């Protein structure tokens, strides 16, 4: 299957400007259209290893990134996201065009893909078993996820853990890892060979940049994984790494607090969450060192 990187010179921009680029990111195909240079560059850089769907094929989401036709087109230019022709969000400064695409795609999935239980959580896998990291923004989940997937773990997702309702397996969606503020330099120093998108400043999240997903993870985007651990991470400067068990009932409640559609799914959501927690060991994890975080997760996955 053709990947973004295999497109002939100029074809990426031409497809984005024309009928659209049909981008496969796991369970979903996104048709993206845009002539904005920042979007073209970001997609080419971050999605080089991803397969493309046929130009006349089906797409789950239809996204357009455009510049609004108003007076701000010349003074403080903006970018507008259109999802199926509608504008779910207010325009943002033009410099934020690529992050807005990532945020918009997250919104499309989390608000519409109700054949899955969707958690706001990173998820990584090793030896067929997945560790889910539910956490609110600022907890260090993406920083820890970035370190793990560059040290032998497979990236299933940085932002959205998608649990299939029929069998409880986790469906991969290994897209670029979103990093913010101080974590950008921290991860850049820890992973000198990693590829980042240009930092974008002054967003609602502060400074943001995206880390390209490992090619090995992208190559396995059709392989689901079985959950084995639910780990609630918390970065705390200067703290020693500490992994503490969490009772199953408490783990259920805390994981549900980080779910996008738990209440939308009703009884199916409760049953899926109960099954997830039942087959997973639950832990709190406090850390300040990425090396300690990696070592702790290696001990988790090691056989007794």
Break the chain into its structural domains and give their ranges. Answer: 4-112, 116-301
Query: How many C-beta atoms surround the C-beta of residue 245 within 10 A?
Result: 10
285: pLDDT strictly greater than 90: yes
pLDDT tens digit string along 166-224?
999 999 999 999 999 999 999 999 999 899 999 999 999 999 999 999 999 999 999 99
Rg of the Cα atoms in the chain:
19
What's the pTM value of the predicted model, to 2 decimals?
A: 0.94
Evaluate whether 145 touches 155 at the Cβ level (below 8 Å): yes
Average pLDDT in the 241-255 region?
96
β-partners of residue 226 are 129
Which residues are CB-contacts of 271 (< 8 A; sequence separation ≥ 6)? Answer: none
pLDDT tens digit string along 135-172?
988 889 999 999 999 999 999 999 999 999 999 999 99
Token readout for 288 is 């300040």
Residue in 193, 109, 179 with CA at minimum distance from that of residue 142 = 179
């Amino acid at each position: 299957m053709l990947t973004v990187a295999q497109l002939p010179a100029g074809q990426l921009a031409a497809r984005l400007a024309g009928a659209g680029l049909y981008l496969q990111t796991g369970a979903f195909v996104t048709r993206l259209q845009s002539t904005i240079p920042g979007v073209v560059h970001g997609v080419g850089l971050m999605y080089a290893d991803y397969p493309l769907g046929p130009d006349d094929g089906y797409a789950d989401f239809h996204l357009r990134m455009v510049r609004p036709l108003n007076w701000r087109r010349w003074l403080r230019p903006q970018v507008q996201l259109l999802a199926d022709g509608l504008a779910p969000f207010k325009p943002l400064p033009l410099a934020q065009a690529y992050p807005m695409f990532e945020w918009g795609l997250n919104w499309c999935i989390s608000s519409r893909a109700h054949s899955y239980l969707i958690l706001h959580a990173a998820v990584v896998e090793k030896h067929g078993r997945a560790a889910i990291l539910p956490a609110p923004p600022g907890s260090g989940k993406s920083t820890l996820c970035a370190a793990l997937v560059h040290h032998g773990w497979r990236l299933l997702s940085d932002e959205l853990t998608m649990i299939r309702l029929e069998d409880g397996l986790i469906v991969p969606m290994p897209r670029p890892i979103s990093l913010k503020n101080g974590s950008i330099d921290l991860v850049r120093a820890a992973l000198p060979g990693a590829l980042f998108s240009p930092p974008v400043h002054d967003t609602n999240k502060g400074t943001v940049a995206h880390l390209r997903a490992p090619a090995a993870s992208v190559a396995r985007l059709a392989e689901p994984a079985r959950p084995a651990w639910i780990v609630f991470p918390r970065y705390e400067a200067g703290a020693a790494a500490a992994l503490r068990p969490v009772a199953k009932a408490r783990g259920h409640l805390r994981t549900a607090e980080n779910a996008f559609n738990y209440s939308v799914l009703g009884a199916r959501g409760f049953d899926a969450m109960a099954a997830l927690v039942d087959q997973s060991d639950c832990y709190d994890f406090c850390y300040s060192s990425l090396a300690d975080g990696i070592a702790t997760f290696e001990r988790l996955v090691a056989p007794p």
